[in-house]
Amino acid sequence: MKASFLLGFIFLLGVSACSQNVEKQLTESREATKQLGSHLKQKLSQSMQANGPIEAMDVCNIEAEGIAANISNNLGLEVGRTSLKLRNVKNASDDWENEILHYFEQQKQSGAEIKNLEIYEVTKDQDGKWFRYMKAIPTSEVCLICHGETIAQPIQEKLHTLYPDDQATGFNIGDIRGAFTVKLKM
């Protein structure tokens, strides 16, 4: 357990030694994922309590994108969510994200705690240099209502209408549901 956590940590340190400016980007990325996570959680639990899970689905369906866009604009970066098992194809991972999602799964298999799984890297493409960051999202009990193995019939129906290709079910508590992802131009 210790060893795998250390591995992740060394990866982080190893990358950071190569560039000087990354502390700032790392702080901003962590801030963006923290904001997105807490805004979504707050909205979700408010609307679950007020109107139940069927209505709450609209928070995820309609509002999640807007909430992420607001935080992205405010902080001057792109923050979002992705997963190996997607509900909304708009959240699909690119190659780098896909690799990291698999890396997180491996780390979890070796005993790492999901809440400690984060990674960053500076990448290059034809548009220049990017700071990229990801943080794993654990599955907790409340998530099972819409992402679990047995989902109530009316919820299933709504999910099926909104997302005919939904893959984001069958999760258990303690699984990695997905990850927050940040992309920042350097």
- Using CB under 6 A, list all residues that contact ligand HEC: 44, 53, 56-57, 60-61, 64-65, 81, 83, 86-88, 91, 137, 139-140, 142-143, 145-147, 168, 177-178
Query: Residue 7 or residue 145: which is nearer to ligand HEC going by CB?
Result: 145
Query: Residue 14 or residue 174: which is nearer to ligand HEC going by CB?
Result: 174
CA of residue 67 relative to chain centroid, distance? 14
DSSP string, 102-141: HHHHHHHHTT--GGG-EEEEEEEETTEEEEEEEEEEE--G
Query: CB of 71: closest distance to ligand HEC in angstroms?
Result: 14
Query: CB of 53: closest distance to ligand HEC in angstroms?
Result: 4
Query: CB of 159: closest distance to ligand HEC in angstroms?
Result: 7
Q: Determine which helix (DSSP H) or strand (DSSP E) holds 87, and give its type and residue range.
A: none
The alpha-carbon radius of gyration of the chain (Å, integer) is 17
Residue 100 tokens, joined: 């990291």
Query: CB of 186: closest distance to ligand HEC in angstroms?
Result: 26
Query: Residue 37 or residue 186: which is nearer to ligand HEC going by CB?
Result: 37
Query: Residue 65 or residue 99: which is nearer to ligand HEC going by CB?
Result: 65
The per-type count for the chain, helices as H runs and strands as E runs, is 6, 4
Q: How many residues does the chain have?
A: 186
User: What is the arrangement of strands in the sheet containing 78-82, beginning at the earlier edge strand?
Assistant: 78-82, 176-185, 128-138, 118-125
Residue 131 tokens, joined: 């700071």
Query: Residue 22 or residue 44: which is nearer to ligand HEC going by CB?
Result: 44
The C-alpha atoms of residue 51 and residue 56 are separated, in whole angstroms, by 7
Query: CB of 78: closest distance to ligand HEC in angstroms?
Result: 15
